[in-house]
Amino acid sequence: MNSLLSKKELARIEALYQYRILDTSPEEEFDDLAFLAAQICQTPIALINLIDINRQWFKAKVGLDVEEMPRSMGFCPLCIEQNDVLIIPDTLADERFANSPVVQSYPFARFYAGVPLITYQGHDIGTLCVVDTEPREISEQQIKSLQAISRQIIKQLEIKRNLSELVDIKKEYQQAQVALRDSQGIINSFFESAPMMMGIIEIVDDDILHISGNAAAAELFEMTPEEMGNRLLSEMNLPQQYLQAWVQRYLESCSENLPFTFEDSYDKPTGKIWLKITVSPIPCDNNRQRFAYFVEDITERKRVESERLQLLVNEQAARNRITNIFESITDGFVALDRQWCFTYVNQQAELLLQRTRKQLLGKSIWEEFPESLRSKFNKEYNHALSAQVSVEFEEFYAPLNIWFSVHAYPSKEGLSIYFQDITERKNYEENLRWKEALLRSMNSVSPLAFYVVDHTTENILFANERFRELWGIEQLKEAMESSTLKHADVMKACQKSMGIIPFDTCLPESMEKCICEDEIFLPDGRTIRRFSRQILNDGLDFGRLYILEDITARKQVEQQIREQAALLDLTTDAIVLRDLSNHILLWNKSAEKLYGWKEEEVIGKNANQLLKTEFKHSEKILSSVLKKGIWQGELKKISKFGKEIIVDSCWTLVKDENRKAKSIMVVDTDITQKKQLETQFLRAQRMESIGTLASGIAHDLNNVLSPILMSAQLLKLKSQDESIIEMLSIVEKNAKRGANLVKQVLSYARGIEGDRTLLQMKHLILEMQQIIDQTFPKSIRTEIDIQPDLWDVYGDNTQVHQVLMNLCLNARDAISEYGTLRISVENIFIDENYAQMNLEAKVGSYVLLKVEDTGIGIPNDLLGRIFEPFFTTKEFGQGTGLGLSTVMGIIKGHGGFISVSSRVGQETSFHVYLPASNVSLEQLVEDIAATPSGCGELILVVDDEPAIREITKNSLEHHNYQVMTASDGIEAVAIYAQYRSKISAAIIDMMMPNMDGATTISTLRKMNPTVRIVAVSGLMNSENLPGKNTDNAVTFLQKPYTTQALLQKLHKVLPEN
């Protein structure tokens, strides 16, 4: 059996073919049954449908004009698949059938009811069905009536088959009777020698008694006719399954009282054979059940039928394969019959012709595509069909706007046509022709010289006029174009004309995929740029291409531009050229250093957006420049790293040769540090002015308070009235209080001299610690750090104690609940580097007192005002605003200075610098001499402040260190990645834009866990320093710092060796 058909399907087809009913003429018996079904169900259409392998054939039909239809269409195949009644009240409502051709087109079926035609052997060979063009319902009684009619149809088929076989039997019997009349011997001879097995049997209980049989029948059981006579089949070793089946078939024939034919296989020792057995009841007395049997060996017929079925299956499979091939190819394919009608259209043809199969099948090509009648299609197709030759051609079909490449092959049935859409190729060819014409046109006016040489023959393939002009060989035009000259001849002519050979005769193989570019310097001073490369075709080198250009003028301009650019880069000012829309055209090296962006990052960008210049300012400046030609003033700009920069900016209008505004040249001078120093100086002047004013007011107040105080004391001595004495005491008390306030103001203005002695800060701090422990909240943790061998301070014990007390009280008030108050004191020598960082500092020895807290912090906008008299952020009645102004006055009176730094919500730090009094020159020299120096180690300095980077670099280099600098964390990481094996330590500012110090340290430690770090900050402390507990590899240095402190911290982190 072929794998394409199941065993069940093959058995069903075989059962259908046994009735020999397909393609027979209409018969009244079947027509009546179809009519009866239509009448019972009241439908316009009724069919007796027999289902073949690939088709549905209608034995009887009512209301339908077709004889058959493909098996894939309609509803009957589903009915026999499910082996049950199939009812479809409304086909459009059923998604399985809504798009079926028999629903969407003739016969427009909207209702279907079908019952299977089931043979006695259980095979579904077809259906009895009724169809209506309107949706409807069917009753149970009508369904039962259809089932009864289906059984009658099977009976009619069985009767026809039996009658047909009986006719054959009767014909044979009649022939036997004639032969018998002619000669009994001939009859006996026929019976005995007939190839058909014949005999008479009788049913005895569940067995078969063989009464008589001919030799062919006896041969089946390998016996003689005499041995078979009057013997039971069970005694002849007939297998039980055959015996039971044959008894059943005989009884079925007896019940119908008609001949009954069936087919069955029988296993013989030599193999399986197929038997066609016809059983005919013989009337007998005494209720005996006798039958005549006629058995035909149909093994050969079965083989032929099986081969026929196999051929049908193979044919269908071949058709399917061919169809699949046609459907899968990328070419369009159609088949035309000899009347020019479409008989097949593949899927690609549908897409190319923009028609569906349904629209084309059965239609004439000339009717569907009438414009093709007047084109090459008509001519070539007729030629192919009439001459029986294949044709190939290309043609444009305007209605579809497509170029087709067509191959047509004739056959007896018509024409097979393959075609492709070559529109894209045609467009490419047209575009190529246009480009060739364009190149020829361009070559005629191009300043470039082209020269092409055949690699094998050394013939000149191409040389334009510019080539000959360039080398002064115009006289060789005709000889070069006529190919009478070789490459060597041209080279000699060039050398004779110019004294130099333009190029070598070959190129290295390595140049296969690249262009070699170089320059030739001619004796006459010209410079020629030469491009050389090999020309390949299908991977084979066949020639050399040379392109030459006279770039003498360009070289001169480039040299002038380089000289001008070098001058621009030498200036320390940032120079930016921008167009009138503020897009950057030029950006010199100083601009890169000042703003942080490289030239390639900013060219074409909007300068105002890049540098965050306020729109109103830029518009006003631009208007002024366009009107006056120049503008100058100060501007605030933002660098790449978010740092605010103040520049003295000069804008100059640049005009073209027509005196029209073309661009603006901006020259920016960095005055950020200058403005910072001016701010410090103005602040110092303002504080001095406030002090002078306060001093004058205090002097006048003292003049007012002195008589009041003395008068109150004098009146108290002369008065005896207690109430008056009490009032005078109040006046005296408040006058003294006013005098104390005046004293504090004077201490701010010019300092208070007091009683000066040598002070040891250690005792003052320990005394303050006792006060803090006794009076401050227990939620505040106190830390004390006193350096051994602390220098003495020459000052007033009470005033210095007052400074320390005021700072500690402010720290207490700043800590809301829990926090830490740190008090530390140490020796420090302020050198020139430090003095440059702080305007108030002077070179010398100091004792540094630090009071730090982890409180709420001070906002940046208030830091500049905290030392002003009567300024306070506390509520009314909780402070006079003279505390910090008094502290500053006392410190200034002692020749010192104070600095403050704060981070809101984190910490505040006050640093008090008091001059040391007992430091001898020998001790300073000894301390400075003891300052550790380097041994040539390479140190990486990372700080966003250029001044601090430069000072630190100079100090370290002065003390025998090598230094590399970076302006931010990203640059530092890049430098360290390149020189990590050489860098011994890194000094990193913690507060930087773009990548802060903490992130930089973490990144470096991931690259090298043992990297040595000195972290620097003016705000934070070492508590949250990344990696600070890692074997002294990371340490902290507070800003501002001295060279000695920097060297000591660096010595601490570096390995001892």
* Each residue's pLDDT tens digit, 30-59: 999 999 999 999 999 999 999 999 999 999
Residue pLDDT, tens place only, 773-797 = 888 888 889 999 999 889 989 888 8
Comparing 15 with 447, which gets the higher pLDDT?
A: 15
pLDDT on residue 826: 92
The CB density around residue 664, as the number of other CB atoms within 10 Å, is: 23
pLDDT on residue 511: 47
Burial of residue 232 (number of CB atoms within 10 Å: 0-12, 13-18, 19+) = middle
Rg of the chain over all Cα atoms, to the nearest angstrom: 59
Contact 144, 126 (CB under 8 A): no
Looking at the predicted structure, is the pLDDT value of residue 751 above 60? no
| Average predicted confidence (pLDDT) for the chain | 81
pLDDT on residue 688: 60
Percent of the chain with pLDDT over 90: 21
d(CA 260, CA 165): 9
pLDDT on residue 927: 54
Percent of the chain with pLDDT over 70: 83
d(CA 37, CA 143): 10
Comparing 603 with 509, which gets the higher pLDDT?
A: 603
pLDDT on residue 1031: 53
The CB density around residue 408, as the number of other CB atoms within 10 Å, is: 22
pLDDT on residue 510: 47
Q: What residues does 963 pair with on adjacent strands?
A: 939
Mean pLDDT of the region 714-725: 74
Residue with tokens 């099948």: 361
Torsion, Cα 81 85 86 89, to 10 degrees, reads: 180
d(CA 676, CA 232): 134
d(CA 745, CA 884): 11
Q: Is the dihedral of CA 597, 599, 604, 607 positive or negative?
A: positive
Say which residues have a Cβ less than 8 Å from residue 363's Cβ, sequence separation at least 6.
341, 342
Looking at the predicted structure, is the pLDDT value of residue 720 above 70? yes
Edge-to-edge strand list for the sheet holding 68-70: 68-70, 55-62, 45-51, 124-132, 111-118, 86-88
Query: Is residue 564 very low, low, confident or very high in pLDDT (cuts 50, 70, 90)?
Result: low
Residue pLDDT, tens place only, 674-700 = 776 666 555 655 656 555 566 566 656
pLDDT on residue 698: 60
The DSSP string of 649-715 is: EEEEEEE-TTS-EEEEEEEEEE-HHHHHHHHHHHHHHHHHHHHHHHHHHHHHHHHHHHHHHHHHHHH
d(CA 725, CA 712): 9
The CB density around residue 346, as the number of other CB atoms within 10 Å, is: 21
pLDDT on residue 52: 92
The CB density around residue 187, as the number of other CB atoms within 10 Å, is: 16
pLDDT on residue 1: 40
Mean pLDDT of the region 227-245: 77
Looking at the predicted structure, is the pLDDT value of residue 850 above 90? yes
Burial of residue 959 (number of CB atoms within 10 Å: 0-12, 13-18, 19+) = middle
Structure tokens that stand for 754 in this block: 């007091």
Q: Which of 134-143, 227-236, 565-574, 741-750 has the lowest mean pLDDT?
A: 741-750
At 1022, phi and psi to the nearest 5?
-90, 5
Residue pLDDT, tens place only, 897-934 = 888 888 888 899 999 999 998 655 455 455 555 568 88
Looking at the predicted structure, is the pLDDT value of residue 292 above 90? no
Looking at the predicted structure, is the pLDDT value of residue 746 above 70? no
Burial of residue 794 (number of CB atoms within 10 Å: 0-12, 13-18, 19+) = middle
Mean pLDDT of the region 1013-1018: 83
d(CA 56, CA 64): 13
d(CA 160, CA 167): 10
pLDDT on residue 114: 95
Comparing 106 with 217, which gets the higher pLDDT?
A: 106
Report the DSSP pairing between strands 45-51 and 55-62.
antiparallel
d(CA 526, CA 549): 10
Contact 655, 661 (CB under 8 A): yes
Longest dimension (CA), the chain: 195
The CB density around residue 12, as the number of other CB atoms within 10 Å, is: 22
Say which residues have a Cβ less than 8 Å from residue 752's Cβ, sequence separation at least 6.
743, 746, 796, 799, 889, 890, 893
Mean pLDDT of the region 1028-1057: 75
**Chain mean position to CA 395:** 44
Mean pLDDT of the region 609-633: 80
Nearest to 334 by CA among 274, 457, 428, 419: 419
d(CA 151, CA 123): 13
The CB density around residue 398, as the number of other CB atoms within 10 Å, is: 8
Mean pLDDT of the region 277-282: 82
Q: For the stretch 28-50, what's the b/e string if a residue is b when 16 or more beta carbons lie within 10 angstroms of its beta carbon?
A: eebeebbebbbebbebebbbbbb
Contact 759, 795 (CB under 8 A): yes
The model's pTM is 0.31
Residue pLDDT, tens place only, 352-408 = 999 998 899 999 999 999 988 888 999 999 999 999 999 999 999 989 999 999 999
d(CA 118, CA 126): 8
Comparing 1032 with 1035, which gets the higher pLDDT?
A: 1035
d(CA 834, CA 814): 29
Q: What residues does 197 pair with on adjacent strands?
A: 295
d(CA 719, CA 721): 6
Mean pLDDT of the region 306-316: 80
Mean pLDDT of the region 417-422: 91
pLDDT on residue 246: 79
d(CA 704, CA 80): 129
Looking at the predicted structure, is the pLDDT value of residue 82 above 80? yes
Mean pLDDT of the region 719-728: 79
CA–CA–CA angle 138, 141, 146 (5° rounding): 80
Looking at the predicted structure, is the pLDDT value of residue 229 above 90? no
pLDDT on residue 56: 93
